[in-house]
Amino acid sequence: MSPPATYKAPLRELRFVLNDLLGIDEEMKALRLPEPLVREDIDALMEDMAAFAEEVLAPLNQSADREGCTWRDGEVATPGGFKAAYDMFRGKGWAGLGAAIEHGGRAWPTVLTHLVTELIGSANHSWLMYHSISRGGYECIRANGTPAQQAAYVPHLASGAWTSSMCITEREAGTDVGLLRTVAVPQPDGSYRLTGLKRMVTAAEHDLADNIVHLVLARIEDAPEGARGLSLFIVPRHLPGAAERNGVRCEGLEDKMGIRGTPTCWLRLDGARGELLNTAGNGLVAMFVMMNIARLATGMQGVNQAEAAYQLARDHARTRLQGRGFGGARVPEPRPAADPLIVHADVRRMLLVQKAWTEGSRALAYWLALQVDRSKLHPEPSVRREADELVSLLTPVLKAFATDNGYASTTLAQQVMGGWGYLDDSGVHQYLRDVRVGQIYEGANGIQGQDLLGRKILGDGGARLRRFLDVVHQVLEKNEAHPVLQPWVAQTRTLCVRLDALARQLIARAPSHPNQVGASGHSCLRIVGVLALAWQWIGMASIAQRRIDVQQSDAFDVAKVATARFYFAHLFPEVEQHLLVAAQDDDAVMALDADFF
Ligand SMILES: Cc1cc2nc3c(=O)[nH]c(=O)nc-3n(C[C@H](O)[C@H](O)[C@H](O)COP(=O)(O)OP(=O)(O)OC[C@H]3O[C@@H](n4cnc5c(N)ncnc54)[C@H](O)[C@@H]3O)c2cc1C
């Protein structure tokens, strides 16, 4: 039997990203925050949250996976320990970390609330989901609600006393939400009665909170077909102030592959009373507040599961003795009968892929979260506008690239552990099962590729992409004279030129090739993802290498530069294939008649 899977918060890594790479002190000073935030505050929070993640949540991860959630007569019991942990979390005021001060929150910016998504998510993905969805619900009502709706719901969501759920999917309506059938009938008092069956709704019923505020996408009776006819409704489990339940009930739970500590619910609306949020027909626009937050958080889930799986694989590779290495990686004398796995080049390759993807994607995720803050809180309109464009371009990239790589990384972690990783008690296959959903929900990853190429690149004639390339060039220019960094800068510069040319080619061709976006979207997303990580790796290696140059470095800096080197040697070349594939017209994927598959 292996020891239970453990998780250690990567605090040095997080300090490096926030302090050294992003310069968080200066960035916080530049934002219009209600209360000043300094490094010491951030550090204290990080350490406290790391302890909570390691000591309270990580020990519940495997037991929750085994126990799952239990449905009984419409009520759902969460796994043992979840409720106590939730009460602790609320008691620390972390449910409202990102909520406005006037709602009882602490108004911390997104870049710092991302610490919750990373640390808590690595320790226990299932547990994180309850809070994560509620964050989106809070922001959605805050952005779209009337003053009365805000007063009724928002402070309860901010405190964590209530949670929320996002009810879009139905049996017939997945990606194509316009097919949904839930209907809302207007009532004389201005409210609505909703009827329908929602499927796969995360945390739509549970025992952690006093109330659950469902945000339900539905069609008002007689509204037009399709997505344009959709409206968004607030449908609470208990109407504010009422003891009895509203007409909304969990009919059962989906049996599923992972995140078993989170209930994925069938939710029956049976004449449930709801309030319109935003205006009629604006449901998707209103829902996108929640969806965009969820996409960034999902990208981070790819990182946090990969980090936890990597830690297991690395520790296993250090202690498992098999075979003799060929030298190079030192083993202390006297050598045991066999060397640890970590001496073998192929095992090192697998670990380095995980390390390079995870650290690169983490850096991108925090940078992007900072752009969200700049887009809202920076005093300068031009800075806000530019940040908003970058967020819009790179949100689908982070969501899909980090979750695809997160899944591939956890598979590699399992591979490093051999047959032991396939056994139940290794813990690693739980990460693999848990991370997998990130590629599917919040818009499946294929849809993210189409969003990137269709809306974000072709949609504005490549303007946002060129803006991003300018941002990349700023980092390249600072580093092109350094002998260690120069080859990586050159590789990245060439990729920028080739990507720009590809975008122009696709912009010209797409009008006459209706399937071009679908055929090239995935490859375009991989190219932009590899480029974004190359840019982050140059930024990180630049800091570490300059400390090495002046002999003020330690093993952490040496590891950063070595991992950057691996990234450019082994992972960056992936773009060669995608540049070729993305440039093909859509014939190759459309030629085969559907009957011949
Ligand atoms: C664990 C879990 C939790 C979930 N939580 C929630 C929740 O809280 N709330 C909620 O509303 N939903 C939730 N979902 C549902 C989830 O959002 C959907 O599964 C997802 O949107 C995809 O819809 P679908 O499953 O119907 O797949 P489909 O829409 O049938 O898609 C299947 C495949 O076809 C592709 N595809 C579909 N349409 C197109 C197109 N036009 N062009 C190109 N490719 C296309 C997709 O990319 C995908 O790969 C959850 C799902 C799971 C598994």
Domain identity same for 525 and 557: yes
The yes-or-no verdict on residue 26 having pLDDT over 60 is yes
Task: Say if CB 397 and CB 529 are below 8 A apart.
Answer: yes
Task: Say if CB 76 and CB 254 are below 8 A apart.
Answer: no
Domain boundary among 142, 159, 176: 159
Q: Which residue, judged by its Cα, is nearest atom 36 of ligand 1?
A: 175
Catalytic residue among 118, 307, 359, 442: 442
C-alpha of residue 175 to centroid of ligand 1, in Å: 5
Residue 395 domain-assigned (yes or no): no
Cβ of 565 below 6 Å from ligand 1:
no
pLDDT digits 0-9 by tens, 275-324: 999 999 999 999 998 889 999 999 999 999 999 999 999 999 999 999 99
Look at the block and give the residue holding tokens 């969806």: 291
441 closest CA partner among 277, 201, 279, 263: 201
Domain identity same for 19 and 154: yes
Q: Which pLDDT value is given to residue 334?
A: 81
> How far is it, in rounded angstroms, from Cα 111 to Cα 117?
10
C-alpha count within 13 angstroms, C-beta hemisphere, residue 258:
22
The yes-or-no verdict on residue 5 having pLDDT over 70 is no
Q: How many domains does the chain have?
A: 3
3-state secondary structure of 256: coil
Mean pLDDT of the region 432-459: 98
Among this protein's residues, is 13 annotated catalytic? no
Give the dihedral sign, CA 492/494/497/500: negative
Cβ of 217 below 6 Å from ligand 1:
no
Domain identity same for 132 and 167: no
Mean pLDDT of the region 267-271: 98
Residue 367 domain-assigned (yes or no): no
Strands (E), 48-90: 70-72, 75-77
The yes-or-no verdict on residue 133 having pLDDT over 50 is yes
The CATH number of residue 57's host domain is 1.10.540.10
Q: Which pLDDT value is given to residue 1?
A: 44
Quick count: other Cβ atoms within 10 Å of Cβ 242?
Answer: 11
Q: Which pLDDT value is given to residue 243?
A: 87
Residue 433 domain-assigned (yes or no): no
Report the mean per-residue pLDDT for the chain: 96
Q: Which atom of ligand 1 is nearest to the CA of 443?
A: 21
Name the strand (E) or helix (H) holding 397. Answer: helix 381-416
Q: Which residue, judged by its Cα, is nearest atom 20 of ligand 1?
A: 441
Domain identity same for 527 and 479: yes
The CATH number of residue 174's host domain is 2.40.110.20
Q: Which pLDDT value is given to residue 409?
A: 98
Domain identity same for 187 and 80: no
Mean pLDDT of the region 589-595: 96
Cβ of 175 below 6 Å from ligand 1:
yes
C-alpha of residue 437 to centroid of ligand 1, in Å: 10
Give the dihedral sign, CA 172/173/176/177: positive
Domain identity same for 143 and 178: no
Q: Which residue, judged by its Cα, is nearest atom 14 of ligand 1?
A: 200
Cβ of 200 below 6 Å from ligand 1:
yes
Look at the block and give the residue holding tokens 């990853």: 445
Residue 254 domain-assigned (yes or no): yes
Cβ of 518 below 6 Å from ligand 1:
yes
Q: Which atom of ligand 1 is nearest to the CA of 442?
A: 17
Q: Which domain holds residue 37?
A: 11-159
C-alpha of residue 118 to centroid of ligand 1, in Å: 24
234 closest CA partner among 180, 290, 176: 290
Domain identity same for 19 and 83: yes
C-alpha of residue 91 to centroid of ligand 1, in Å: 35
Angle of helix 381-416 relative to helix 463-479, nearest 10 degrees, comes to 70
21 closest CA partner among 300, 496, 370: 370
Q: Which pLDDT value is given to residue 232?
A: 98
Domain identity same for 219 and 141: no
pLDDT above 90 covers a percentage of the chain that reads 95
Q: Say how many residues make up the chain.
A: 597
Q: Which atom of ligand 1 is nearest to the CA of 165?
A: 8
The yes-or-no verdict on residue 329 having pLDDT over 80 is no
pLDDT digits 0-9 by tens, 238-251: 999 898 999 999 99
Domain identity same for 502 and 515: yes
> How far is it, in rounded angstroms, from Cα 352 to Cα 264?
34
Q: Which residues contact 111 (CB under 8 A, 6 or more apart)?
A: 18, 22, 24, 27, 366, 369, 370, 372, 373
Angle of helix 125-144 relative to helix 283-319, nearest 10 degrees, comes to 160
Q: Which atom of ligand 1 is nearest to the CA of 198?
A: 11
pLDDT digits 0-9 by tens, 530-584: 999 999 999 999 999 999 999 999 999 999 999 999 999 999 999 999 999 999 9
Q: Which residue, judged by its Cα, is nearest atom 37 of ligand 1?
A: 175
Q: Which pLDDT value is given to residue 4?
A: 61
The yes-or-no verdict on residue 3 having pLDDT over 70 is no
pLDDT digits 0-9 by tens, 484-538: 999 999 999 999 999 999 999 999 999 999 999 999 999 999 999 999 999 999 9
Domain identity same for 203 and 261: yes
Residue 270 domain-assigned (yes or no): yes
373-377: Cβ within 8 A, 24+ apart = 373/27, 373/31, 373/109, 373/110, 373/111, 374/27, 374/30, 374/31, 377/31, 377/32, 377/33, 377/109
Cis link prior to 263 (omega < 30° from 0)?
no
C-alpha of residue 441 to centroid of ligand 1, in Å: 6
Domain identity same for 188 and 117: no
Task: Say if CB 312 and CB 412 are below 8 A apart.
Answer: no
Domain identity same for 123 and 175: no
C-alpha of residue 444 to centroid of ligand 1, in Å: 6
Q: Which atom of ligand 1 is nearest to the CA of 202?
A: 8
Q: Which atom of ligand 1 is nearest to the CA of 447?
A: 47
Cβ of 163 below 6 Å from ligand 1:
no
Cβ of 182 below 6 Å from ligand 1:
no
Residue 366 domain-assigned (yes or no): no
